[in-house]
A and B are shown apart, each in its own frame.
Chain A
Amino acid sequence: MSSLAIFVWIASVFLDTAGRLTFKSAAMTERETELQRWKSMLRSPWLWAGIICFCLEFAVWLALLSLIPLSQAVLIGSINIVVVMIAGRLIFHERLDGLRLAGMSLIAVGVALAGGFA
């Protein structure tokens, strides 16, 4: 992969992770009714930050596919799963058990093999 492709890939992982984490922050509001909950989510700056991340991610993913084969992009794109789980652990203190750690490690190894980093 060219250094431009690697840069675009990292940008895509960053935007995807940021989008999911901001959506999670926006979704964590508790309100009396479902309608009130949606109203408060729509007012949340987190939700709009997330929407901006996903719109940018759309363009960045297209940019990545214009640089590398689709088969390679979907494989190395799987690292999102691992990064989001690590971030969930750090920010929201989500649980990581043995099965999850094993799954995350396997995905990381797979990404390294497919990306030619191994």
Chain B
Amino acid sequence: MSRARFYLVGFSALVLVDTWTQLSFKLASHQTGEFVMTTAWLKAAVASPWIYGAIAGYLSAFFTWMTLLKHAPVGPAFAASHLDVVTVLMLSALLFGEQLSALKIAGATCIVLGIVLLSLSESKDVTARATVD
């Protein structure tokens, strides 16, 4: 597999499993109902099949991340690991009919730009270290 293809597949896989995890969490919360500090609520959480979807998602994300980091630069990898914000936002509107107000979209735009800046800074750090070595 070429390097570009490896990155593309790896980053897409990471965004995909992270998105899956968040959707599973939300579906599990439909089964538990609104949070109350009781053992009944916790029992409902453990009984929800979606909670195991979320656990599977976390484990897959961990292994995808570790595989990706063997080859990929940490900056873009860092950004990709947080860009599930965008996919989760779109899917929560599509699947759960959540309202995406102008404020939410403005907030999401700022957050994504911020993540891109952070990943640029990480990439610069790694290049600097590589030059010193």
Q: Which residues of A approach B to under 8 Å, CB–CB?
A: 4, 8, 58-59, 61-67, 69-72, 74-75, 78, 81, 85, 95, 97, 99-100, 102-116, 118
Instruction: Say yes or no for B32: interface residue by CB 8 A criterion.
Output: yes
Within 8 A of A (CB), among B97-133: 98-100, 103-104, 106-118, 120-121, 124-125
A8: which B residues are within 8 A, CB to CB? Answer: 35
A71 close to B104 (CB less than 8 A): yes
Q: A66-B29, A116-B103 are in contact. Are A4 and B117 (CB under 8 A)?
A: no
The contact of A107 among B96, B111, B121, by CB within 8 Å, is B111
A70 close to B103 (CB less than 8 A): no
B114 close to A59 (CB less than 8 A): no
A-B CB proximity, top 9 nearest: A114-B107, A110-B110, A106-B114, A103-B117, A113-B107, A110-B111, A107-B114, A63-B35, A99-B121
Q: A78-B85, A78-B111, A116-B103 are in contact. Are A103 and B121 (CB under 8 A)?
A: yes
Q: A71-B104, A112-B107, A114-B111 are in contact. Are A99 and B92 (CB under 8 A)?
A: no
Q: A113-B106, A114-B104 are in contact. Are A71 and B89 (CB under 8 A)?
A: yes
A59 close to B120 (CB less than 8 A): no
Identity of the chain B residue whose Cβ is nearest the Cβ of A108 in the assembled complex: B114
Q: How many B residues are at the interface, by size bracket?
A: 35 or more
Distance in Å: Cβ of B54 to nearest Cβ of chain A: 8
The contact of A99 among B22, B32, B98, B120, by CB within 8 Å, is B120
The contact of B89 among A74, A85, A116, by CB within 8 Å, is A74
B109 close to A110 (CB less than 8 A): yes
Q: Which residues of B approach A to under 8 Å, CB–CB?
A: 22-23, 25-26, 28-29, 32-35, 42, 45, 51, 54, 82, 84-85, 88-89, 92-93, 96, 98-100, 103-104, 106-118, 120-121, 124-125
Distance in Å: Cβ of B31 to nearest Cβ of chain A: 9
Distance in Å: Cβ of B30 to nearest Cβ of chain A: 8
B89: which A residues are within 8 A, CB to CB? Answer: 71, 74-75
B28: which A residues are within 8 A, CB to CB? Answer: 62, 65
A113 vs B102: C-alpha distance in the bound complex, in angstroms? 10
A115: which B residues are within 8 A, CB to CB? Answer: 107
Identity of the chain A residue whose Cβ is nearest the Cβ of B31 in the assembled complex: A66
A70 close to B118 (CB less than 8 A): no
